Amino acid sequence: MTVESTAARKPRRSAGTKSAASASTTGTKSAASRSAGAAAKKSPGATGGEPELVQLLTPEGKRVKDATYDRYVADITPEELRGLYRDMVLSRRFDAEATSLQRQGELGLWASMLGQEAAQIGSGRATRADDYVFPTYREHGVAWCRGVDPTNLLGMFRGVNNGGWDPNGNNFHLYTIVIGSQTLHATGYAMGVAKDGADSAVIAYFGDGASSQGDVMEAFNFGAVYNAPVVFFCQNNQWAISEPTERQMRVPLYQRAQGFGFPGVRVDGNDVLACLAVTKWALERARNGEGPTLLEAYTYRMGAHTTSDDPTKYRADEEREAWEAKDPILRLRAYLEGANHADEGFFAELEAESEALGKRVRDVVRAMPDPDNFAIFENVYADGHALVDEERAQFAAYQASFADAGEGK
Amino acid sequence: MTIEKMALAKAINESLRTALEADPKVLIMGEDVGKLGGVFRVTDGLQKDFGEERVIDTPLAESGIVGTAIGLALRGYRPVVEIQFDGFVFPAYDQIVTQLAKMHARALGKIKLPVVVRIPYGGGIGAVEHHSESPEALFAHVAGLKVVSPSNAGDAYWMMQQAIQSDDPVIFFEPKRRYWDKAEVDKDAIPGPLHGVRVAREGSDLTLAAYGPMVKVCLEAAAAAQEEGKSIEVLDLRSMSPIDFDSIQASVEKTRRLVVVHEAPVFLGTGAEIAARITERCFYHLEAPVLRVGGYHAPYPPARLEEEYLPGLDRVLDAVDRSLAY
Ligand SMILES: Cc1ncc(C[n+]2csc(CCOP(=O)(O)OP(=O)(O)O)c2C)c(N)n1
Ligand SMILES: [Mg+2]
């Protein structure tokens, strides 16, 4: 297959999903979207009033109908809903544990995902085992959904490795720190999936700040030109370190997709059901040969950018407080309780499970050994390299000289 | 009194402030340089005092930052742009190499691009990957760029003044692990030339040449060697392009031995160029081959291994011993 044939890949399925796509780009606005619309104030220059936003659960935990996306969660069972809740609680717990491990000096740095659980769990649970995920450095919840052992995420933050897991083990690529790069890798991977004639899909995560990078816009364009089965999933958490979204964009991000020729949708990023639904829709489009989709999960970075950051330098507490009222976990809990989908026992058990997870993470991290010094020279090349061999030997001789000196004394 | 002790980061901050006050065409641009004052607080307070028109929080796009700085320079401004960390300059590498470096020559000298690209660089702070790199050779290799790195607060203040005044693009590497080191800054001093070597310590048995973060290590090594009766001269090179070979030559003709130290990988690094040139110039003076101490031909390792990767006191002294043993 040639690259051209990827571009020519024909939609495989009915127009049904297509109409979902066009509905979302032509501005159909559900009643639900209005209640959260005020949150859009940070995106100036939106054409024609408030941007639409897909929402299935209100901040109060009320289920609202959405003609376009309901079908993607129509048959969700109470057990699955409890599963989403559990995922969010446990990944939040893991995240909190990592933050405190950093405070205790066990990690050099941590980038907390606090507040972004719904966006990550909703989208992560929408993926299939054969799909491939390209994360930034903050997708701990997505990693959780992919079955990556959470303690594996901590190696690079502890400084014992620069990655630490086999990307092909869970089809979850390494974290990428250079902002935006991975969106191109995801697009290329998706081009490969299409060439292979597989019906897997690829999802690329990135941030609102990342949307300014040339790489990201190039990824959009490659995705569009080759009709690649890729979903661009932006977590618009309102901040790129100290810069608010006004510094990155003048139209709501999801609207940018239109200019590249594929649909873009803004979803309530604190609504796990809505995130699950829109991501399922977008992945299905990809599988059906309908090309890329841009999803903008509208959410909030509740914590500091990383443990090195001091957000009091640049943002007000009131903003955070306003977002606290939209907490993704409380929202689903209210819904579960209201619908009698979960009882006391469930929450108590989860609490215990959460404590156990925290303890396991602590224990594993504290026992995580420093790498062997010679790891410096490992895996620099797949086929070896004479200079690396020479420097490794010099290094060995140098190290040995200390041992000899020690023995001599 | 105009002599004041301050941290290296603060000295650059003061230097930027002086430049903003002196010339309305000077602009500061970069990610998080405004309200936050940069992740290292090097631009702290500047937006507050000079406004958003002059201290500009840019979109998160390094190619965009340098590319628009070129445009602003074409329009008569003198942008000082910040790249947040060494590892993030590469999206801008195209603009720097293909445009910033060459435009003056292409325009037959009719246009000048007085752009300063500030890059906090080097390791030793226990960071995650892409936050500890030393890519200076990748820039020094490009004609049209000038590449400098101060080692202390006093030099940082003056070298930034001179870099901003330069009509050529200057890549200004800031030794991030020395940001908090304090030294005297004399704002009334008459500074030496931007690209000149500074003799940081005089000695007669061997010359250690370094720049940026490694000058301190070399001074410590010289002090340790002194206790063993060895007299080491330490040169703070300050500039990787151009390199003040005359001063290095003068030192080597005296000491007859040279060891070059940098954090960057040894292979094709600044030290390689110095070794070659000094061998050409001082062949009959040298008692030993020019030795180099630096990083390995391997990706910068995870933080828990950086002590092993970075040249420290022991590795420098080991090279000193090897040189003296010839
Ligand atoms: C190319 C590049 N430039 C700068 C940085 C430094 N940096 C790390 S995170 C960040 C902000 C990212 O913001 P956003 O994309 O919104 O993601 P978030 O951190 O909010 O999840 C910056 C500027 C980087 N990692 N890579
Ligand atoms: Mg963000």
The pLDDT assigned to A406 comes to 62
Between CA B258 and CA B251 the distance in angstroms is 9
pLDDT tops 60 at residue A28: no
Chain A residue numbers with beta carbons less than 8 Å from the beta carbon of B321 are: none
Same domain, B109 and B59: yes
What is the band of A407 on the pLDDT scale with cuts at 50, 70, 90? Answer: low
Give the closest-approach CA distance of B117 to chain A in angstroms.
18
Chain A residue numbers with beta carbons less than 8 Å from the beta carbon of B34 are: 242-243
pLDDT tops 60 at residue A8: no
Q: Token pair of B62, please?
A: 């390094």
What is the band of A403 on the pLDDT scale with cuts at 50, 70, 90? Answer: confident
Helix/strand/coil for B156: helix
What is the band of A52 on the pLDDT scale with cuts at 50, 70, 90? Answer: confident
Give the closest-approach CA distance of B296 to chain A in angstroms.
7
Q: Residue B191: inside a domain, yes or no? A: no
Between CA B239 and CA B149 the distance in angstroms is 6
CA of A177 to the centre of ligand 1 (A): 8
The last residue of one of the domains, among B157, B186, B215, is B186
Residue B289's domain comprises: 198-324
**CATH number of residue B108's parent domain:** 3.40.50.970
CA of B80 to the centre of ligand 2 (A): 25
Share of chain A above pLDDT 90, in %: 85
DSSP β-ladder status, B291-295 and B258-265? parallel
User: Tens digits of per-residue pLDDT, B210-234?
Assistant: 999 999 999 999 999 999 999 999 9
With CA atoms as reference, the chain B residue closest to A155 would be B302
Q: Residue B193: inside a domain, yes or no? A: no
Question: Is B57 within 8 Å of A388 when comparing Cβ atoms?
Answer: no
Between CA B155 and CA B146 the distance in angstroms is 16
Q: Which of B35, B127, B305 is closest, CB to CB, to A314?
A: B35
Same domain, B116 and B15: yes
- Catalytic residue chosen out of the listed positions B131, B262, B285, B297: B131
- Judged by a CB distance cut-off of 8 A, whether residue B61 touches chain A is yes
Instruction: Report which of A188, A138, A196 is spatially closest to residue A1, judged by C-alpha positions.
Output: A196
Q: Residue B223: inside a domain, yes or no? A: yes
Contacts of B204 (CB under 8 A, 6+ apart): B231, B233, B254, B255
The pLDDT assigned to A22 comes to 40
DSSP character at residue A239: E
Same domain, B80 and B142: yes
Instruction: Report which of B304, B105, B15 is spatially closest to residue A376, judged by C-alpha positions.
Output: B304
Atom of ligand 1 nearest to the CA of A207: 15
User: Tens digits of per-residue pLDDT, A243-273?
Assistant: 999 999 999 999 999 999 999 999 999 999 9
Say if ligand 1 is within 6 A of residue A113 CB: no
pLDDT tops 50 at residue A10: no
CA of B5 to the centre of ligand 1 (A): 34
Say if ligand 1 is within 6 A of residue A287 CB: no
Same domain, B229 and B110: no
Q: Residue B301: inside a domain, yes or no? A: yes
Question: Is A313 within 8 Å of B130 when comparing Cβ atoms?
Answer: no
Question: Is A108 within 8 Å of B303 when comparing Cβ atoms?
Answer: yes
**Which H/E stretch holds residue A194?**
helix A181-195
Question: What's the CA dihedral at B271, B275, B276, B278 to 10 degrees?
Answer: 130
Asked if residue B213 lies in contact with residue B236, where contact means CB atoms within 8 angstroms, the answer is no
Between CA A132 and CA A267 the distance in angstroms is 21
Same domain, B164 and B221: no
Same domain, B74 and B103: yes
What is the band of A49 on the pLDDT scale with cuts at 50, 70, 90? Answer: low
The pLDDT assigned to A192 comes to 98
Same domain, B151 and B32: yes
The pLDDT assigned to A329 comes to 98
The pLDDT assigned to A27 comes to 37
Same domain, B214 and B277: yes
The pLDDT assigned to A404 comes to 75
Instruction: Report which of B197, B149, B145, B195 is spatially closest to residue B175, judged by C-alpha positions.
Output: B149
Q: Token pair of A322, please?
A: 């306003």
Same domain, B85 and B182: yes
Same domain, B165 and B248: no
Between CA A148 and CA A169 the distance in angstroms is 8
Give the closest-approach CA distance of A83 to chain B in angstroms.
33
**CATH number of residue B267's parent domain:** 3.40.50.920
- Which residues of A form the catalytic set? 301, 305, 314
Work out the burial of residue A385: count CB atoms within 10 Å of its CB; fewer than 13 is exposed, 13-18 middle, 19 or more buried: middle
Atom of ligand 1 nearest to the CA of A240: 13
Of A25-39, A326-340, A379-393, the poorest mean pLDDT is in: A25-39
Tell me, what's the ipTM? 0.96
The pLDDT assigned to A164 comes to 82
Between CA B272 and CA B243 the distance in angstroms is 12
Same domain, B25 and B141: yes
Does B141 participate in catalysis according to the annotation?
no
Q: Residue B62: inside a domain, yes or no? A: yes
Bridge partners for B299 per DSSP: none
| pTM greater than 0.95 | no
Same domain, B246 and B317: yes
Chain A residue numbers with beta carbons less than 8 Å from the beta carbon of B297 are: 380, 385, 387-388, 391
Helix/strand/coil for A359: helix
Between CA B17 and CA B29 the distance in angstroms is 14
Give the CATH number of domain A20-367; options: 3.40.50.300, 3.40.50.970, 3.30.1370.60, 3.40.640.10. 3.40.50.970
Indicate the number of domains in chain B. Answer: 2
For chain A, give every domain's residue range: 20-367, 378-407
| CB atoms near residue A50 (< 10 Å) | 17
Digitized pLDDT (tens) for each residue of chain B, 326 residues in all: 689 999 999 999 999 999 999 999 999 999 999 999 999 999 999 999 999 999 999 999 999 999 999 999 999 999 999 999 999 999 999 999 999 999 999 999 999 999 999 999 999 999 999 999 999 999 999 999 999 999 999 999 999 999 999 999 999 999 999 999 999 999 999 999 999 999 999 999 999 999 999 999 999 999 999 999 999 999 999 999 999 999 999 999 999 999 999 999 999 999 999 999 999 999 999 999 999 999 999 999 999 999 999 999 999 999 999 999 99
Question: Is B304 within 8 Å of A377 when comparing Cβ atoms?
Answer: no
Between CA A153 and CA B299 the distance in angstroms is 20
What is the band of A179 on the pLDDT scale with cuts at 50, 70, 90? Answer: very high
The last residue of one of the domains, among B135, B156, B186, is B186
Give the closest-approach CA distance of B175 to chain A in angstroms.
19
Task: Indicate which ligand has the atom closest to the C-alpha of B58.
Answer: 1
Q: Which of B59, B301, B315 is closest, CB to CB, to A247?
A: B59
Asked if residue B90 lies in contact with residue B61, where contact means CB atoms within 8 angstroms, the answer is no
User: Tens digits of per-residue pLDDT, B191-212?
Assistant: 999 999 999 999 999 999 999 9
Helical segments of A311-343, H only: 317-324, 328-338
Between CA B238 and CA B46 the distance in angstroms is 26
Query: Among all chains, which residue has been given the structure tokens 């990610």?
Result: B31
